[in-house]
Amino acid sequence: MARWTLILALGLAACGPGSDLVPVPEGFPDLRIPEDNPLTVEKVELGRFLFYDTRMSNNETQSCGSCHFQELAFTDGRTLAEGSTGQGHPRNANGLSNVGYNSTLTWANPLVTELEAQALVPLFGDNPIELGANDAVLERFQNDPLYIDLFDEAFPERSEPIDWDGVTDAIASFERTMITGNSRFDKFTYQGERDALNEAELRGMLLYFSEDLECQHCHGGFNFSEATTHADQPFDAAFFNNTGLYNLDGEGAYPANNTGIYELTLDPQDMGRFRAPSLRNIAVTAPYMHDGSVETLEEVIRNYERGGRLIEDGPNAGDGALSPLKSGFVAGFTLEDDERDDLVAFLQTLTDETFLTDERFSDPFEAQ
Confidence bin at 42 (pLDDT 50/70/90): very high
Judge whether 301 lies within some domain. yes
Question: Can you give the residue range of the structural domain that contains 159?
Answer: 41-179
Angle between helices 164-176 and 41-52 (to 10 degrees): 100
User: Is 175 found in the same domain as 265?
Assistant: no
pLDDT in tens, 246-282: 999 999 999 999 999 999 999 999 999 999 999 999 9
Mean pLDDT of 128-153: 93
Output the domain CATH number for residue 277: 1.10.760.10
Task: Reply yes or no on whether the pLDDT at 2 is more than 50.
Answer: no
Task: Reply yes or no on whether the pLDDT at 126 is more than 90.
Answer: no
User: Is 255 found in the same domain as 129?
Assistant: no
Mean pLDDT of the chain: 92
Task: Reply yes or no on whether the pLDDT at 46 is more than 90.
Answer: yes
Judge whether 363 lies within some domain. no
According to the model, what pLDDT value does residue 17 have?
37
User: Is 70 found in the same domain as 87?
Assistant: yes
User: Is 188 found in the same domain as 170?
Assistant: no
User: Is 201 found in the same domain as 339?
Assistant: yes
User: Is 329 found in the same domain as 238?
Assistant: yes
Which of 162, 179, 196 is at the close of a domain? 179
According to the model, what pLDDT value does residue 15 have?
34
Confidence bin at 19 (pLDDT 50/70/90): low
Which of 179, 207, 227 is at the close of a domain? 179
User: Is 104 found in the same domain as 60?
Assistant: yes
* Among candidate residues 237, 294, 297, the one with its CA nearest the CA of residue 92: 294
Judge whether 155 lies within some domain. yes
According to the model, what pLDDT value does residue 236 have?
65
According to the model, what pLDDT value does residue 12 have?
35
What is the percent of the chain with per-residue pLDDT over 70, rounded to a whole number? 93
According to the model, what pLDDT value does residue 16 have?
34
User: Is 195 found in the same domain as 171?
Assistant: no
Structure-model confidence comparison of residues 80 and 235, the more confident one: 80
Judge contact between 306 and 332, C-beta under 8 A. yes
Task: Reply yes or no on whether the pLDDT at 23 is more than 80.
Answer: yes
According to the model, what pLDDT value does residue 368 have?
66
Judge contact between 223 and 32, C-beta under 8 A. no
Q: For 241, list phi and psi in degrees, rounded to 5.
A: -140, 150
Q: List strand residue ranges (DSSP E) for the chain, in order.
A: 240-241, 274-275, 310-311, 318-319
According to the model, what pLDDT value does residue 132 have?
87
Confidence bin at 358 (pLDDT 50/70/90): very high
Confidence bin at 334 (pLDDT 50/70/90): very high
Judge whether 5 lies within some domain. no
Judge contact between 289 and 269, C-beta under 8 A. no
